[in-house]
Structure 1
């Protein structure tokens, strides 16, 4: 007789002999009661409350809702029963989960609850991108607005994106400033062509652009533009010198040329001025011309000094000089199109209404109501009459549009013909959700046209493909990866490389400099981008045998054979592929002077497996110093000492084995074999029983044995970022559907995004 059957017989005999003894969980069905009593009560019943949880007096009333949810989550993720106990067989696990969902939790898989999404304001990234796409203007939100709060690991969460009186005032001032810049009186000026930093590209390496041109190596970036008229032009380059925060002897020469002919040059060094300008006049024919910027390396930085580079802001090509043919700047044309520019005063009312209808509909992401449009037009005409210019009226009502809650806040409305308990959101709301998910900005003309025609939902997959191919999708990669994998933190953390690497201060700062930190962030983003756009399995984020390196980063990691100055795909040893051995992960999960197995283990549990431990209890002692009885201890030995504290043991048993697998990597991402001249042991075992000998085997465990957990966690993170709310228990059907779709399509990251967009929480709303 197996232990399960023996337990049931023993239980029946016990109840027969003790008929007057109440069974506290008698409200539960017998089959569920038996499963929980056999698997759970040894630790969570009969007077025991391991982890503060007691299950043998649970009932189905609402007071126990949170506890039932915890039971469901632990069973669902395989955390309970523990690996050293009797395992639930597949049928018992399914029956228990089905019962938990139907009864205490009330999940209806035939009609899932899409949840509640709080009306949420634009965060700083979204506001900046929205203004750029709406008005064609650059606006520094970091200088004008306070930092955004975060929730569930993201700054897209509606519940924390509140608007204080101070922020409301800042929004109003920003609206006035933006409209004043976008729509100026007498804005028609000499024709001008503007080339922005990304438009300047190195012909030999398309990834190198004018965003940052290093002093350290000779390089040329170029852009081609067609000029319609022959004449004399003025070429004006605006740029900054960036890189080292401290003074450095690093220098270079910047050469500006057109069609290979030098126009001007400038000797550059450490310079914190904004608005540096290089200009020249040149006669040009009416044809296509190539405008180029070349860096000639100068003096190298001295040991310990930082490196510099040129950050292009834009190049303006003005002319032909002296022409009577005038044109309007891009920002003016984005607000007042050519067809809406009035020829005389009598056209002001009609043209004003047309301009404001277009601007408000774009800014508010849906057609503007007639009564609102009439009021905006009235305000504009009054202001225009007072000032005497058409533009003054547009500025006045444009300020009202940009300061309106309809611009600042995003809400979803139900479709007018929707039925049922949980209606579909309308197509305008769907377009907005889609664009802010993948572009961090408002819908473009094609999305609006699809929404207006009511065809967006029917053509959703084609639109998603188009949007992912658009360069604006890099915003999603930067913002999602930057927060989910904390990649953007690597450039800000105050590390002590000289202590970690045991070198002099200047040498440590030279080795682990700002350029290297940027390379680390871009390495992680490049891997995510490649797996997404090449439709590779999402598990390659963990198990890939390649990464993206340039010479600087490869040299720092100790990987030979990489000579490119630009990040490129490189096959690497098994201990270097994937996100878990990239500099971003290794740095952001470390302390300023040493590694942190706890942070590394917690990161994996929280961000890759979706099974974070509970918060640490108060007054937990710090990790002991590295000596014990006069003996130097390795990190693993220190963690063993730390776990002797009973308050720490249960959580650390889950985190420490994972974190210690990475101990051969320092706090800044370099590789080592020993610590304190002692060999580093990296073997371990997960709390669910899987064993591994080091980081290579751990990555295989996570990517293969824990694939379902990783897929579920990825789905939850994507859904959280996309919806602007945390994932709740009633999202289980949606998460399961996303994971099922992924696994039908080889588990690709691309399919995960499509499935999130098709999911009930993304497509529907509570009425």
Structure 2
């Protein structure tokens, strides 16, 4: 079924129009050089001066006749004009606040320096600054007099991440939500917490029912049959080094996982090693010692490999040539005995599997098995053995546990007699319902749960724990748990803003800061009516920022803002980049997460995301970046030796590889990503039937990437966009497709990392790009604030949010653009504290 959605202002047309308008010229760079060129206050403007500027420079194109024309064969320019819908000859310059949607788009073009487009007469920089400033002032004044907080959907389903975090905080139980629930769709801005896209289908309801049953049994320890869990390694992951801190020093490869054992009992652990396409177990030509550990304690050491009888298969690519039957049987079956049965106490435990790293093993990673490539038998036979998967099955002979983190969280009382069970169950379920529903439970809520408790207890022969398990299962499928419901107060005037109640505000705050449910302290404050006190609200925000759960701002907000979830799809051509593997991808991911997390945890300026002089590396990543003196798999903070090569996000291998093709860099992909994620001015999508880039230039000689894009821009349908997209992308050409610094391209040409903007300004390399951004810090701070506001509200950003964004950025500038200033600015804004009633 679909969640009913209230009417809301759609931005599909506005977003397309803004994107097309931005394509006419350079969005960010010109504003930095043009409108920010003078530190002096611009001369005052007026409605008359705005009209004169528009009439002289704009309305020849942006007029009602051309914008509303229909039919006929339209030129590229006419098509763009129709898409923008900017009829400036009839626009009201006296009251810009009355049509803020139109004037916000004009402001964007003026501040970007993209209006008029290149080659057309244009006003001076001071005049454009004055007009833009006057329009901003008038629109912001109108917005302050009549705030429009927007309207989120009436029902907002928890997304998969929020569901998993809610289970963690409600039941002290870590679950793999991705394995239990289907994925969520994302909004136009790339966030999966947007209420408008979070519908509920019949298939999802079935998965919620299944998840509730599994989770309630794990949490209470009430099990009916052995369960099965499987943990796998990527086939692209090399296993020559210690994987992580959960595995012992002196180990290599393997995997570790935190597994919740639902009951005291015996469990079966099975280890599978990697095989090739012939089913040969890798690494059987040498003796390998393989350890299974639980919480660091050695459970079993296996010996595998090194004892193959008979004559091996020859070093060959042909599957037709086999070894002796005894040898063939050995290399296929020698790892079949990697199984152990061991007792484990209920609760979460770290299970680790790793090889002992013997000193005679070669250093450096072997190359991974890439799709379409097959290593020779000899390389497989004598290479490193690798762990493919670990499975855990059980419990057998299990008993209901007495003490686990989940049971301590759930069973806050222990009835000594049958006559005490009802009161104890009511206490347990009332407490759980308060957290799960994010409000004090009403009597009917508790009565419903108690009915399920009685039913579960009766079916289990009077067993108290079984009754709690069934009642918990019912709670986890309650709409009040799965949905955030926004109810309008009685008497709310249609279309007018009303303040959120304390409990609804607590929910909005916790899902923004933690991607999870409120804790007891936040609920207590909300129930007492104190959360609407600005001083109390600020204290709660600072407390929540200091809590480890605020890591969700990295793993959910930042990862989606920067498109880092797509890092799993990054591939590199092994013929061009043989050193690229999954270990490097994981190092990229960890570097960026640690770096962004450090700026939030230390409450640094968001501008440090662009220009910080430090990063986080382990030995593998340091070697990739050319940073000396770093050894081991542990990530540590290092000061960067050369800010011309690294410094800030834009030198991270995660983003550089994400915006490349498998075999080469792409100024277009990188430029488009920069415009969207960093400058906040996403270009429109390519028109249909765009021709491929030409491979050859003059005299049929191979063309450089710059030459190929120059030839591509000769197509009028491509020129306007690529004039905007390509320059910032070229500024990152010193990095190859896997993020290494280079002075020569893959085809042997000297790197040209200069980008010339449509207004003639040239910048070069990472340092030049960084300088462009930091010249006008409000550009990047505004982009981040706009994205963070959309994430906080769970809806698409709208034109009427721009005054809020500008106010937050202005106020944060006085505090050095610190993260806390921006987050507090969002939380204290009318957009966060209020909601518009239905019309």
Which among 534, 546, 563 is matched to residue 486 of structure 1?
563
Which among 87, 91, 100 is matched to residue 55 of structure 1?
87
- After the TM superposition, which of the residue ranges 414-423 and 465-474 deviates more from structure 2? 414-423
Aligned residues: 685
Note if contact 1:660-1:682 (Cα within 8 Å) is conserved in structure 2: yes
Rate the CA distance shift 1:626–1:559 in 2: closer, same or farther, 3 A: farther
Residue 643 of structure 1: how far off its partner (Å): 0.5
Q: Deviations over 1:703-753 (max 9, x none)?
A: x22311101000011111221111111112221122022211111223222
Note if contact 1:356-1:373 (Cα within 8 Å) is conserved in structure 2: yes
* Matched residue, 2:152: 117
Residue 137 of structure 1: how far off its partner (Å): 2.9
Note if contact 1:137-1:331 (Cα within 8 Å) is conserved in structure 2: yes
Map 1:476-515; keep pairs closer than 5 Å.
476-493=553-570, 495-501=571-577, 508=578, 511-515=579-583
Note if contact 2:100-2:799 (Cα within 8 Å) is conserved in structure 1: no
Note if contact 1:255-1:295 (Cα within 8 Å) is conserved in structure 2: no
Rate the CA distance shift 1:687–1:711 in 2: closer, same or farther, 3 A: farther
- After the TM superposition, which of the residue ranges 152-161 and 370-379 deviates more from structure 2? 370-379
Residue 367 of structure 2 is aligned to residue 304 of structure 1: yes
Rate the CA distance shift 1:475–1:108 in 2: closer, same or farther, 3 A: closer
Map 1:498-647; keep pairs closer than 5 Å.
498-501=574-577, 508=578, 511-570=579-638, 571-573=640-642, 574-647=644-717
Rate the CA distance shift 1:716–1:64 in 2: closer, same or farther, 3 A: closer
CA distance in 2, matches of 1:273, 1:459: 61
CA distance in 1, matches of 2:474, 2:276: 40
Which consecutive unaligned segments of at least 5 residues does structure 2 have? 1-45, 68-76, 225-242, 259-263, 306-331, 370-383
Which among 686, 702, 708 is matched to residue 757 of structure 2?
686
* Matched residue, 1:131: 167
Map 1:145-184; keep pairs closer than 5 Å.
145-151=181-187, 152-184=189-221
Q: TM-score by structure 2 length? A: 0.72
Which among 87, 97, 106 is matched to residue 71 of structure 1?
106
* Matched residue, 1:201: none
Q: Secondary structure at the match of 1:548?
A: strand
Q: Deviations over 1:347-392 (max 9, x none)?
A: 2332232222111111111111223322332343344345433334
Which among 236, 244, 254 is matched to residue 291 of structure 2?
254
CA distance in 2, matches of 1:211, 1:451: 43
Which consecutive unaligned segments of at least 5 residues does structure 1 have? 1-27, 188-206, 223-232, 283-289, 502-507
Residue 167 of structure 1: how far off its partner (Å): 0.7
Rate the CA distance shift 1:291–1:160 in 2: closer, same or farther, 3 A: closer
Residue 522 of structure 1: how far off its partner (Å): 0.9
CA distance in 2, matches of 1:358, 1:694: 57
Note if contact 2:645-2:741 (Cα within 8 Å) is conserved in structure 1: no
Which among 33, 38, 47 is matched to residue 56 of structure 2?
38
Which among 531, 541, 545 is matched to residue 468 of structure 1?
545
Rate the CA distance shift 1:313–1:715 in 2: closer, same or farther, 3 A: farther
Note if contact 1:431-1:451 (Cα within 8 Å) is conserved in structure 2: yes
Map 1:74-473; keep pairs closer than 5 Å.
74-75=109-110, 77-82=112-117, 85-86=122-123, 87=125, 88-99=127-138, 108-118=143-153, 119-151=155-187, 152-185=189-222, 209-210=245-246, 215-216=251-252, 248-249=282-283, 253-254=290-291, 264-267=300-303, 279=342, 296-298=356-358, 299=361, 303-305=366-368, 327-337=402-412, 339=413, 341-387=414-460, 388-412=462-486, 421-457=496-532, 458-473=535-550
CA distance in 1, matches of 2:788, 2:672: 19
CA distance in 2, matches of 1:211, 1:417: 61
Q: Deviations over 1:594-620 (max 9, x none)?
A: 211111111111111111122222222
Q: Secondary structure at the match of 2:836?
A: coil
Q: Deviations over 1:680-707 (max 9, x none)?
A: 21212334664312221111111x2231
* Matched residue, 2:23: none
Rate the CA distance shift 1:93–1:695 in 2: closer, same or farther, 3 A: same
Note if contact 1:257-1:264 (Cα within 8 Å) is conserved in structure 2: no
Rate the CA distance shift 1:123–1:245 in 2: closer, same or farther, 3 A: farther
Which among 676, 699, 718 is matched to residue 770 of structure 2?
699
Q: Deviations over 1:470-490 (max 9, x none)?
A: 332223312222211122322
CA distance in 2, matches of 1:237, 1:417: 61
Q: Secondary structure at the match of 1:44?
A: coil
CA distance in 1, matches of 2:602, 2:148: 33
Note if contact 1:126-1:440 (Cα within 8 Å) is conserved in structure 2: yes
Rate the CA distance shift 1:485–1:83 in 2: closer, same or farther, 3 A: same
CA distance in 2, matches of 1:589, 1:701: 20
Note if contact 2:185-2:197 (Cα within 8 Å) is conserved in structure 1: yes
Q: Secondary structure at the match of 1:182?
A: helix
Rate the CA distance shift 1:292–1:714 in 2: closer, same or farther, 3 A: closer
Q: Deviations over 1:157-187 (max 9, x none)?
A: 1111111111112112222222233335599
CA distance in 2, matches of 1:397, 1:459: 35
Rate the CA distance shift 1:480–1:572 in 2: closer, same or farther, 3 A: farther
CA distance in 2, matches of 1:637, 1:578: 29
Residue 536 of structure 1: how far off its partner (Å): 2.0
Q: TM-score by structure 1 length? A: 0.78
CA RMSD of aligned residues (A): 4.4
- After the TM superposition, which of the residue ranges 135-144 and 246-255 deviates more from structure 2? 246-255
CA distance in 1, matches of 2:290, 2:432: 44
